[in-house]
Structure 1
Amino acid sequence: MPPKPKLNVQNFPRPPLIEHTPRHVQVKWHGEIIADTKDAYWILETYHPPTYYLPPSSLSIPLTKTPKSTYCEWKGYATYYSITSSDKKETIKDRIWSYDSPNEKYKDLKGYLSFYAGPWECYVDGELVKPQPGDFYGGWTTSELEGIIKGEGATRWL
Structure 2
Amino acid sequence: MPPKPKLNVQNFPRPPLLERTPRHLQVKWHGQTIADTKDAYWVLETYHPPTYYIPKSSLSISLTRTQKSTFCEWKGWATYFSVTGEEGKETVKDRIWSYESPNEAYKEIKGYVSLYAGPWECFVDGEEVRPQPGDFYGGWTTSELVGTIKGDAATRWL
Deviation of 1:32 after TM superposition, in Å, equals 0.3
The residue aligned with 2:121 is: 121
- Determine the C-alpha separation between the residues in 2 that align with 1:20 and 1:87: 35
The residue aligned with 1:7 is: 7
Cα deviation per residue 1:91-147 (whole Å; 9 max; x = unaligned)? 000000000000000000102000000000000000000000011000000000000
- Determine the C-alpha separation between the residues in 2 that align with 1:124 and 1:144: 11
**Letter matched to residue 22 of structure 1:** P
Percent identity reads 79
**Letter matched to residue 8 of structure 1:** N
The residue aligned with 1:155 is: 155
The residue aligned with 2:83 is: 83
The residue aligned with 1:92 is: 92
* Number of positions where the alignment pairs a residue of Structure 1 with one of Structure 2: 158
Q: CA RMSD, aligned part only? A: 0.7
Deviation of 1:153 after TM superposition, in Å, equals 4.3
Equivalences for 1:136-155 in 2 at 5 Å? 136-155=136-155
The residue aligned with 2:103 is: 103
SS at match of 2:122: strand
Structure 2: gaps spanning 5 or more residues: none
Structure 1: gaps spanning 5 or more residues: none
Deviation of 1:154 after TM superposition, in Å, equals 2.4
Deviation of 1:156 after TM superposition, in Å, equals 1.3
The residue aligned with 1:37 is: 37
The residue aligned with 1:60 is: 60
- Determine the C-alpha separation between the residues in 2 that align with 1:79 and 1:17: 20
| TM-score (norm. length: structure 1) | 0.98
